Amino acid sequence: MILLELKDIHKSYKDGQVKVNALKGVDLSIENGSFVSIMGPSGSGKSTLMNIIGCLDKPTSGIYRIGEKQVEKLSDWKLAGIRNEFMGFVFQQFHLIPGLNALENVELPLIYQGITGRQRKMKAKEALEAVGLGDRLKHKRSQLSGGEQQRVAIARAIVGNPKLILADEPTGALDSKASENIMSIFQRLNEDRKITIIQVTHEKSIGEYGKSIYHLLDGEMDYIEEVIRNKAK
C-alpha cells in the first residue's frame, strides 16, 4: 500500500532578486512499512524535500498525497493536524527542553493532544522504555549523553503512535557507536511496529540501514538504490 506519493514536486525560494530552484520535479512514492534513506550532496534539496513530506512547508507546484488525502493545498492548521496525528520528527540537534526531564520532554506532544496526567506519564514511560531509557526518566538534558538525548527525542517522536518517522541527519551529531544504536532502534521500530521511516543522511554506512536509498542531485531524483541486505541489528 502506498503511504505517500509526490508527483512532479517543484520548490523554489526567492532570495532577494535571486530565485533558487531547490526541487525540480521530484517524483517519489513510499510504501507503508518501508525504511528509506535520502542521500545527496549538501544543497541538493534533501531538507527541502523532508520539510514538504513533513508538511512543514508547501511545494511551489506538484501533487502530494498522504493516503487518500491530497495535502499540498491544505491550510496550515490542517497540516498541523496531520503532523500531530500521523508523524514523528527527529532532528540532528535533539531539541530537548533543558528545564524538563526525559519523561516531561516525552510527555510534551501528548499535552498538545489533550491527553491528561496519569495516562500521559504512562505512555511517556513506555516510549522511553522502548528506546532503552527506562532507567533515565528523571534525568535532565545536561545529565544525558548525546546518544541518550537522541533516544529521548525518538521516544518523543513515537509517543503519539505515528505511522511515519521523519529524521533529518539523526546521527549527524553522534559518534559511530551511538549512531549504530540509533539505527538499530529505527530498525526495530520499523520491523516490530511497522512504522515507516524516512531519514536523511550524508553517511553511506548510515544510509545502508534503510531498505532503499534515494539519491538526490541538484534538486532532482538521481537514482534509487535497493539495499540488498540491510545491516544486521
Q: Which residues contact ligand ADP by CB under 6 A?
A: 13, 15, 20, 22, 40, 42-48
The smaller minimum CB distance to ligand ADP, of residues 32 and 47, is found at 47
Q: Which of 225, 118, 219, 110 is nearest to 158 (CA)?
A: 110
Compute φ and ψ for 169, nearest 5 degrees: 55, 55
The smaller minimum CB distance to ligand ADP, of residues 42 and 116, is found at 42
The smaller minimum CB distance to ligand ADP, of residues 15 and 135, is found at 15
| Separation of alpha carbons 22 and 57, rounded Å | 13
At closest approach, how far in Å is the CB of 152 from ligand ADP?
A: 24
At closest approach, how far in Å is the CB of 42 from ligand ADP?
A: 4
The smaller minimum CB distance to Mg ion, of residues 46 and 136, is found at 46
- Report the residue number whose CB is nearest to Mg ion: 47
At closest approach, how far in Å is the CB of 82 from ligand ADP?
A: 21
The smaller minimum CB distance to Mg ion, of residues 56 and 100, is found at 56
Say if residues 102 and 128 touch (Cβ distance below 8 Å): yes
| Separation of alpha carbons 89 and 214, rounded Å | 19
How remote is the C-alpha of 44 from its chain's centroid?
A: 18
Site track for Mg ion across 15-54, x = CB under 5 A:
-------------------------------xx-------
At closest approach, how far in Å is the CB of 135 from ligand ADP?
A: 36
Say if residues 132 and 182 touch (Cβ distance below 8 Å): no
At closest approach, how far in Å is the CB of 153 from Mg ion?
A: 17
Alpha-carbon distance values, 218 to 22, 40, 48, 52, 164 (Å): 7, 8, 12, 17, 26
Say if residues 87 and 54 touch (Cβ distance below 8 Å): yes
Among ligand ADP, Mg ion, none, the one that 84 touches (CB under a kind-dependent 5 to 8 A) is none
Q: Which residues bind Mg ion (CB under 5 A)?
A: 46-47
